[in-house]
Amino acid sequence: MHIPDGLLDPITTIVLWIITIATMIFGYFRMGKMFEKEDSEKFVPYIGVLAAIIFAFQFVNYPVPGGTSGHLVGGTLVAIILGPWASVIVLFLILVIQSLFGDGGITVLGANAFNMGIIGGIVGFYLVMLFVRLLNKTKMKKEYKLTIATAIGSYIAIVLASFICGIEIAISGTIPFEIAVPAMVFWHTLIGIGEGIISALIVFYIYKTKPEFITTESMLKVK
| Footprint of other proteins (CB under 8 A) | 1-7, 28, 31, 35-36, 38, 40-56, 59-64, 66-71, 89-90, 93-94, 96-102, 105-107, 162, 165-166, 169, 174-175, 179-180, 183-184, 187-188, 191
Q: Which one, 1 or 222, has the nearer CB to other proteins?
A: 1
Minimum gap (Å) between residue 27 Cβ and other proteins: 10
Nearer to other proteins, 15 or 175 (CB): 175
CB-wise, 85 or 131, nearer to other proteins?
Answer: 85
DSSP letters for the chain? --PPTTSS-HHHHHHHHHHHHHHHHHHHHHS-GGGTSTTGGGGHHHHHHHHHHHHHHHH--EEETTTEEE----HHHHHHHH-HHHHHHHHHHHHHHHHHTTSS-STTHHHHHIIIIIIIIIIHHHHHHHHHHHHTTS---HHHHHHHHHHHHHHHHHHHHHHHHHHHHHHTTSS-HHHHHHHHHHHHHHHHHHHHHHHHHHHHHHHHH-GGG-TTHHHHT--
Distance between CA atoms of 178 and 67, rounded to whole angstroms?
22
Output 136 or 174, the one with its CB closest to other proteins.
174
* Nearer to other proteins among residue 31 and residue 118 (C-beta): 31
Closest approach of other proteins to the CB of residue 138, in Å? 33
Q: What's the closest the beta carbon of residue 86 comes to other proteins, in angstroms?
A: 8
Whether 117 and 123 have beta carbons less than 8 Å apart is answered as no
Residue 74 Cβ, how far from other proteins at the closest point, in Å?
A: 11
Q: How far is the CB of 100 from other proteins (least distance, A)?
A: 5
| Minimum CB distance to other proteins, residue 179 (Å) | 6
**Closer residue to other proteins, CB minimum distance, 9 or 138:** 9
